[in-house]
Amino acid sequence: MATPGLLLVDKPEGITSHDVVSRVRKIVGTRKVGHAGTLDPMATGLLVLGIESGTKLLTFIVGKDKTYEATIRLGSSTVTDDREGDVLTTATPDQISEITQEAILAGISKLSGVIQQKPSAVSAIKVDGERAYARVRAGEEVDLPSREVTVSRFEVLGVIRFTNEYIELDVVVDCSSGTYIRALARDLGNDLGVGGHLTALRRTRIGEFDLETAYDFSDGSPVNIIELAEAAETSLPHIEISTQDEIDLRFGKRIAGTVAEPTAVLCSGELVAVVESAGTSSLKSLVVFSKGESNV
């Protein structure tokens, strides 16, 4: 059996997140592999995969804040808000020449902090049980409602590049889960009156995990699965419990205590469960791990 835990993968461009899962299933020798947070085929960067019972941790990781590096091109808009979609509008050279660096930075400022964002129509959000992107590809018009997201950092990296046809800028974005970087590019272009879309996107962080130790399919290095106890301690608040509490949790009982958010509980260094508060003085399990899994 494959080692239960988490695997960080640096997804290459041109394949889907499901393609990554399929490759990893073959590499580690199990079908029980899942991922937290889909990346489009055009995008590269960090995918967090759960292996065996490590998949139980993914629900606590998918909602964490993320960091992206992206290239935004101002001067045209597309159906998909990225370079893979058909062009909808193109600005004239005169319109491009009127855009200043100060105006771009002011537009970025408007898209920082707590904002209302309309997701891209080709997102993975479900509409009546079907993904929005599937409806768009079938020729339907999809208008998704705006929702609140937090963009805690939206900064330009290096020099903004101006040409007669477009303006291009490399940016870094720290944001809450559910933020669409394509939508930031679209909205910045709309604010400036010239349209905008993404030409490159790379995710560099999900919560406490980054690309530093991520597996790269191209370099032939061995996979490095983060075992359950370490994965839980890295990604969640954690507490140590007694042997009796361990027994009680494994038999579905509640134990005494209180936590502010889902918390990993360990006994003698082994991951037992993830718990939440139940009432004012007890904890109940959200997921329980079989004895010995952390030490495979």
The residues assigned a catalytic role are 40
Which residue, among 242, 273, 266, 272, has the nearest Cα to 256 in the 3D structure? 242
Judge contact between 43 and 185, C-beta under 8 A: no
Distance CA 8, CA 209 (A): 8
Cα distances (angstroms) measured from residue 224 to each of 42, 50, 207:
25, 12, 19
Distant-in-sequence, close-in-space partners of 190: CB < 8 Å, separation ≥ 6: 77, 196
C-alpha distance from residue 54 to each of 239, 287, 290 (Å):
19, 11, 11
Give dist(CA 261, CA 259) in Å, integer. 6
- Distance set, CA 271 to CA 7, 233, 255 (Å): 17, 9, 16
Residue 194's contacts (CB-CB under 8 Å, 6 or more residues apart) are 74, 75, 76, 91, 95, 96, 99, 167
Spell 239-272 as b/e; 16+ CB within 10 A means b.
eebeeebbebbbeeebbebebeeebbbbbeeebb
